[in-house]
Amino acid sequence: MNELRCVVASPFKRNEGDSMLPQDFEFSLSFDLKWMTPEQASRILDIALNSHLLYMEDEQLHPAFDPSTVDIPRGFIPSKEVLHQTTLVDQILEYIASCSNMELKQVVSLVNNRHEKLSGMVDVEVAALIIGRELGCDVDKFYENVLQNISSNS
C-alpha cells in the first residue's frame, strides 16, 4: 500500500469528485477526516504536488490517478512518516543549497523564477537541474531519477 496515495485519494473518494479547491483538500484531511493539523495537511498538499500525485488546473486540484482504484483499509490513519517524505525536487534543492553554500530559500526562489521564465514548459525538477548546473553543482546523479519521474508523468 502506498500510504501517500491513500491519503491523497481519501478526500476525492469522500467528496466523490475528480477535482477540488486546495483549501477543500486541506480541510478534508484536517477537519473531515481528523487525520492531521491544517499545517500538516498543507504539507501533504505540497508533497503530493511535488510527487505529481496531484496537479493544478484552473485553480482546481486534480488527482493524477484514479482515486476509485485505491483501496483504503478500514480504520486507516496515516503515520507521521508520511509528512516527512522527501520528494525528488526537495532532494535536488537541498543538494544545490549545500553545494552552492546558498540558503535553501534562495535556491527555491531561483528555481521558481526559472520555471516561470520557461513558462512551465519544463518540470520544476528540470528547472532545478538547470540552476544547479549554472551554480557549478554536479547534478548528474539526479538525471536518471528526473528522467524516470518525467517519463512516468507523461
Q: In terms of pLDDT, which residue wins out, 54 or 52? A: 54
Mean pLDDT of the chain: 90
**Predicted local distance difference test score (pLDDT) of residue 10:** 96
Contact (CB, 8 A) for 52 and 64: yes
Q: Band the pLDDT of 152: cuts 50, 70, 90.
A: low
Does pLDDT of 46 surpass 90?
A: no
CA angle 139, 142, 147 (to 5 degrees): 125
Does pLDDT of 12 surpass 90?
A: yes
**Predicted local distance difference test score (pLDDT) of residue 153:** 59
Contact (CB, 8 A) for 62 and 54: yes
Q: Band the pLDDT of 78: cuts 50, 70, 90.
A: very high
**Predicted local distance difference test score (pLDDT) of residue 1:** 44
Q: What is the pLDDT of residues 113-148, one digit of tens each?
A: 999 999 878 888 999 999 999 999 999 999 998 888
Q: What percentage of residues in the chain have a pLDDT greater than 90?
A: 65
> In sequence order, which ranges of 3-142 are alpha helices (DSSP H)?
3-15, 22-27, 38-50, 88-100, 104-117, 124-134
**Predicted local distance difference test score (pLDDT) of residue 145:** 86
All three cell numbers of 107, joined, read 535556491
Of the candidates 23, 13, 32, 18, the one whose C-alpha atom is nearest the C-alpha of residue 73 is 13
For the whole prediction, is pTM greater than 0.75? no
